[in-house]
Amino acid sequence: MNEEQTSLLLHSCSRFPPPKGVRLSYGTAGFREDASILQSTVFRVGILAALRSLKTRSVIGLMITASHNKVSDNGVKIADPNGGMLSQDWEPFADALANAPTPEQFLQLLTDFVKKENIPFDGQQSAEILLGRDTRPSGGSLLEAAKQGISSIIGAVFYDMGIVTSPQLHWMVRARNKGMKATELDYFDQLSSSFRCLIDLIPYGSGISKTVDDILVVDGANGVGGEKLEALKKMLDDLVIDVRNCGKGSGILNEGVGADYVQKEKVIPQEFGSMDVGLRCASLDGDADRLVYFSVPSNVSSYINLVDGDKILSLFAIFIKEQLSILQEAADEKVKAIHHARVGVVQTAYANGASTEYLKQLGLEVVFTPTGVKYLHDKAAQYDIGIYFEANGHGTILFSESFVASLETIKHEPSSASIEQHNAVLRLLAVSKLINQAVGDALSGLLMVEAILRYMGWSIQKWSDLYQDLPSRMLKVKVVDRTAVVTTNAETVVAKPPGIQEAIDAETAKYPQGRSFIRPSGTEDVIRVYAEASSQEGADNLASSVAKLVD
Ligand code: 16G
Ligand code: ZN
């Protein structure tokens, strides 16, 4: 590192002292804390993003968001060249950088890491970072800190993409690295045109061209997603969307609204009520990477009928499976090969047991990973078509590049496929363009759900009735040190402290269809408890007795 670079770093770093008495950790989705203590962290992540860009010789993303957390929190995460989450082997370095107490120690860490990772750091190579943030009021000043961090690396430049959803930024990074156009308009264009393509491919006369409850009502969590959906819907004729909680009124981000609230509490979000009985409703989270659907039941109650990530996953799986089965009888070898695609479904321990049972009955391969998109995504990427979802509504469908290339070949070359077989191929291709290949995306997921419901001719009720969720309960227990709990087997078994797993097993055995697990949260200082049983009372009791074991 030359002298100019060293003094630039020392100087700028000294203007962003780290908070005292806080241990920062790059958790499941980056750093997340009260926004007031994040200046130095975001500044340092700016530097980290520049290093990552130098190392990978690619465009990198830096997103400032705390997703579904309360409005006073904020956070920062990095998007890797393929649009996915930061490679896990860099996370310990992110932790170390964020926690270095002095500019000198920070510089030492950086110098050692640059050497170890062989990062071209001679001022000759350029680095490029796309910046994005959600609507949080603290976002503007944190973005400044990120810019200062990036600017303290000679040769690094940033492009401010403004207020965007997390998936938009991930999409843009991926697109840029593929040499594609990557503005917000390009994103909207791709989503709306592939949606149109799917609608146009609905066989005439099959299904019904419009579902009975044709209007879709969306809760935008008072965040960025609602605002973007307002813009996107202008490009979608044929789909009537009423967006509420789009952040323009007095409502507060994620307060009594949003996918996290709706999924965890199972209650009607603000601005929804008896006028929505029977309508198809959806909810996005604060940075629009999660999506759940729900309906308001006709009886007077504050509870909703939740259609969660597991059911979105099931709907997607049915559709994909149906397209592949259309190709079963294909005479053309290339088309027949599509039929034999390796399809994998990825879930976490939070997936409702009834959903796993249902997916297995469909004949699908179901695998489990720990919570957090990075784990599910990596697993899903191992298949030709990998469908992953967390129950909380984060998920997508990944298509391998070689599989998409085979679809493209069939699209463009003459084959002996029948029209319906050819259309099935075109539908798969449209899905691969509609559904975000970088990360779970509430906006693209929503269009996908809408297209499939239209194709099937299903109401939300029909979709919801695919299977009955087992009653479940989630609790959280505040603890001094959440890292004391260590889990294994995709978080289904406690390895440490000793004895707890046996006690959980003993409790679980008391309940018909009982299942329970605990895990340290990756985003809060709590241990989470999940329980499932054949009755709601059973699930509640099991959860509270397991919670007592942790306390
Ligand atoms: C983050 C994760 C989400 C996970 C959640 C779990 C990403 C982009 N987001 O929001 O996938 O479900 O954390 O939170 O990875 P928890 O560890 O606090 O339960
Ligand atoms: Zn989110």
- State in Å: Cα 78 to ligand 2 middle: 14
Please state whether the predicted TM-score (pTM) of the whole model is above 0.90: yes
Q: Is 242 annotated as a binding residue?
A: no
Over 60: is that where the pLDDT of 383 sits? yes
**Arithmetic mean of pLDDT, 142-166:** 97
Pocket test for ligand 1, best of 31, 68, 371 (most atoms within 8 A of CB): 371
Ligand 1 contacts CB of residue 348 (under 6 A): no
Q: Which pLDDT value is given to residue 327?
A: 96
Q: Tokens 């009791």 identify what position?
A: 541
Tokens 């070689």 found at: 402
Residue 205's pLDDT band, with cuts at 50, 70 and 90, is low
How many residues in the chain? 551
| Mean pLDDT over the full length of the chain | 95
**Residue 285 Cβ contacting ligand 1 at under 6 Å:** no
Q: Give the residue whose CA is nearest to atom 2 of ligand 1.
A: 372
pLDDT computed for residue 208 by the predictor: 47
Residue in 33, 260, 287, 523 to alter for ligand 1 test, most ligand atoms within 8 A of Cβ:
523
Catalytic site includes residue 72: no
Q: For 295-339, write each residue's pLDDT tens digit.
A: 999 886 888 999 999 999 999 999 999 999 999 999 899 999 999
The rounded Cα 526 to chain-centroid distance in angstroms is 21
Q: How confident is the model at residue 212 (pLDDT cuts 50, 70, 90)?
A: very low
216-268 pLDDT tens trace: 999 999 999 999 999 999 999 889 999 999 988 889 999 999 999 999 999 99
Q: What is the pLDDT of residue 133?
A: 98
- N- to C-terminal Cα separation, the chain: 50
Residues 333-368: pLDDT tens digits? 999 999 999 999 999 999 999 999 999 999 999 999
Q: Is 325 marked as a binding-site residue?
A: no
Q: Residue 209: pLDDT above 60?
A: no
Q: Which residue's CA lies nearest to atom 5 of ligand 1?
A: 372
In the reported structure, the alpha carbon of residue 374 is separated from the centroid of ligand 1 by a whole-number distance in angstroms of 10
For ligand 1, the distance from its centroid to the CA atom of residue 138, given in whole angstroms, is 21
Please give the distance, rounded to the nearest whole angstrom, from the Cα atom of residue 7 to the centre of ligand 2: 38
Six-digit token pair at 25? 């950790």
* Per-residue confidence (pLDDT) for residue 206, from 0 to 100: 55
| Model ipTM value | 0.98
Contact partners, residue 292, CB within 8 Å, separation at least 6? 259, 262, 263, 282, 283, 306, 307, 308, 309, 312, 392, 393
pLDDT at 256: 97
Cα of 27 from ligand 1 centre, angstroms: 9
List the alpha helices (DSSP H) in 33-81.
Answer: 39-56
Strand partners, 515: 532
269-278, 316-325, 407-416: segment of lowest average pLDDT: 407-416
Q: Is 74 annotated as a binding residue?
A: no
How confident is the model over 418-441, as a mean pLDDT? 96
Ligand 1 atom 9 nearest Cα: 29
Is any atom of ligand 1 closer than 6 Å to the C-beta of 390? Answer: yes
Q: Which of 53, 67, 138, 355 is catalytic?
A: 67
Beta strand spans in 71-198 (E): 73-79, 127-133, 156-163
